[in-house]
């Protein structure tokens, strides 16, 4: 039979006919079965899976007594003593306990290509036993060739190790540690011919680096503190602002730096800047540095109060155009009051810790609350409730609650405060109602309303 049609339908039909004739021809070559139950793979094929039992390779003599099963694209059951071509897929059916086989991927590709060649040449679509053996051998060579190509492809995606080592060595020559960067920046800052513009850029770089605790300590060990203090005394307001910004970032949550700054008179210089005419941009950064120095540092807080720090903040709070500074000031007061109360409350519990006992003693010696009362802060802080900013109102309410133990009697005698609280409560009740209609049960306005309710309760019942 010759194939005279090149259409795809005829080709698919020829493939099916070829597979059927192939199975019939191999079945006709069956001889006596091998009495062993081990799976045998006929030599000359491409290796596939096995059933988990020992697999052996048949010799030419053994092949003559084996029944070679030619797999198809479907799973078929293997009987004891039957052999399969190399490259077949074999599995153990756990439900039936029998071995099953089907064609491997390479087998299907090869036979499809071989059949296509036969059809294109106009040859009869049948194969002899010798051709089948040759085909199996070709399949093994094709598989080996594909493996080599895949290995070459993988190798092309990577570079030699020695080349990578050389590049890494070159990179090491260009890498600077943070300490080296700090040293270089300070050396440039001290240069006599440096411009103010360049100094300001260096201060910004330093501020970024000192957010890391180790870098801040390294900066101070290199003399960076004295450089910042000199900049605070500069006549250039931009340098004052930049150096105060660096100091505030370096002092934040860094006890080692806080102690060194306190011992070198940093607080006095910062208070001087706050007490003398300066642009508000400078005073904001200076106030940030003061707050960073005082937080969680009772020794500095005591020093701050003894040097009239609250009086300086009071004048700043009352000054014209200082609305933006007021929130920063009451936030500082709130932090100082709340951290002191937390330490004192923790001290009521029996904690056998000498360090904690010393910290408790230091905080107990800070006369913060009496000075707040004497400095008129009980009437100053409520003024911020007139602001239209919700954030300002929230911070003011929290500070009022923190000062309540010493200011409660003055709160009650302040008719303006009671009226303002009533107005605000009505406003925030409406805002909370709107929030809940939008599906927010515990929204931001609800938190402010809770603060108002708590303060109102203290005024009426405590």
**Token pair 């005082």 is at which residue?**
294
Give the span between the Cα atoms of 394 and 416, in whole angstroms.
Answer: 18
Q: Taking Cα atoms as reference points, which of 8, 65, 9 lies closest to residue 42? A: 65
Within 309-414, residue ranges assigned H as helices are 309-318, 323-346, 354-364, 368-374, 377-380, 390-413
Which is it for strands 55-57 and 82-85: parallel, antiparallel or unpaired?
A: unpaired
Question: Max CA-CA distance within the chain?
Answer: 117
Chain segment 238-261, per-residue pLDDT in tens? 999 999 999 999 999 899 999 999
Contact, 130 vs 119, CB < 8 A? Answer: no
Do 265 and 309 form a contact (C-beta atoms < 8 A)?
Answer: no
61 vs 361, higher pLDDT = 361
Give me the residue label for tokens 């009051």. Answer: 337
**Is 10 a residue whose pLDDT tops 60?**
no
CA distance 101 to 84: 8
Answer for the pair 56, 40: CB distance below 8 angstroms, yes or no.
Answer: yes
**pLDDT score of 134:** 66
pLDDT in tens, 368-406: 989 999 999 999 999 999 998 999 999 999 999 999 999
**pLDDT for the residue 174:** 56
Report the distance separating Cα 435 and Cα 447, nearest Å: 12
Task: Over range 130-141, report the average pLDDT.
Answer: 65
Better-scored residue on pLDDT, 32 or 454: 454
pTM greater than 0.85: no
Residue 227 clears pLDDT 80, i.e. is over it:
yes
Mean pLDDT throughout 284-298?
A: 95
pLDDT of residue 244: 97
Distance separating the N- and C-terminal Cα atoms of the chain? 110
Q: 3-state class of 241 per DSSP?
A: helix
Residue 217 has which token pair?
């300590």
In this predicted model, what pLDDT tens digit does every residue of 159-177 receive, in sequence order?
777 777 777 666 655 567 8
Question: Can you tell me the mean pLDDT for 137-164?
Answer: 66
Average pLDDT, the chain: 80
Residue 347 above 90 pLDDT? no
Q: Phi/psi at 15 (nearest 5 deg)?
A: -60, -45
pLDDT exceeds cutoff 90 at 82: no
How far is 430 from 446, CA to CA, in rounded Å? 10
Handedness of CA 36, 41, 42, 43 (dihedral sign): negative
């Amino acid at each position: 039979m010759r194939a005279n049609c090149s259409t795809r339908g005829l080709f698919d039909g020829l493939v099916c006919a070829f597979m059927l004739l192939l199975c019939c021809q191999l079945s006709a070559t069956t001889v006596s079965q091998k009495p062993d139950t081990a799976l045998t793979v006929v030599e000359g094929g491409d290796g596939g899976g096995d059933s988990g039992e020992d697999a052996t390779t048949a010799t030419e003599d053994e092949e003559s007594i084996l029944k070679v099963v030619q797999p198809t694209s479907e799973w078929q059951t293997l009987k004891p003593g039957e052999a399969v071509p190399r490259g077949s897929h074999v599995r153990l059916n756990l439900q039936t306990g029998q071995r099953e086989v089907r064609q491997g991927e390479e087998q299907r590709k090869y036979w499809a290509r071989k059949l296509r060649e036969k059809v294109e040449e106009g040859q009869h679509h049948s194969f002899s036993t010798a051709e089948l053996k040759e085909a199996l051998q070709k399949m093994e060579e094709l598989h080996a060739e594909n493996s080599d190509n895949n290995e070459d492809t993988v190798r092309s995606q990577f570079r030699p190790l020695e080349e990578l080592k050389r590049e890494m060595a070159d990179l090491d020559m260009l890498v600077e540690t943070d300490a080296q960067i700090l040293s270089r920046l300070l050396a440039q800052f001290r240069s006599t011919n440096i411009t103010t513009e360049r100094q300001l850029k260096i201060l910004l770089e330093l501020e970024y680096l000192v957010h890391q605790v180790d870098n801040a300590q390294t900066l101070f060990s290199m003399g960076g503190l004295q450089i910042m203090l000199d900049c605070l005394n500069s006549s250039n307001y931009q340098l004052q602002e930049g150096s105060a910004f660096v100091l505030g970032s370096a002092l934040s949550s860094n006890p080692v730096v806080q102690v060194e700054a306190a011992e070198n008179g940093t607080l006095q210089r910062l208070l001087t800047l706050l007490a003398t005419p300066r642009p508000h941009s400078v005073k904001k950064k200076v106030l940030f540095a003061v707050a960073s120095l005082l937080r969680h540092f009772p020794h500095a807080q005591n020093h701050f109060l003894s040097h009239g720090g609250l009086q300086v903040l009071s004048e700043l709070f009352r000054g014209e155009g200082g609305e933006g500074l007021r929130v920063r000031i009451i936030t500082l007061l709130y932090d100082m009051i709340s951290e002191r109360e937390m330490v004192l409350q923790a001290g009521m519990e029996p904690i056998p810790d000498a360090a904690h006992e010393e910290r408790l003693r230091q905080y107990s010696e800070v006369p913060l609350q009496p000075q707040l009362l004497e400095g008129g802060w009980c009437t100053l802080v409520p003024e911020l409730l007139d602001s239209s900013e919700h954030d300002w109102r929230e911070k003011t309410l929290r500070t009022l609650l923190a000062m309540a133990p010493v200011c409660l009697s003055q709160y009650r005698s302040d008719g303006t405060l009671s009226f303002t609280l009533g107005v605000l409560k009505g406003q925030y009740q409406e805002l909370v109602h709107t929030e809940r209609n939008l599906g927010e049960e515990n929204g931001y306005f609800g938190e402010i309303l809770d603060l108002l309710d708590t303060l109102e309760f203290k005024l009426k019942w405590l």
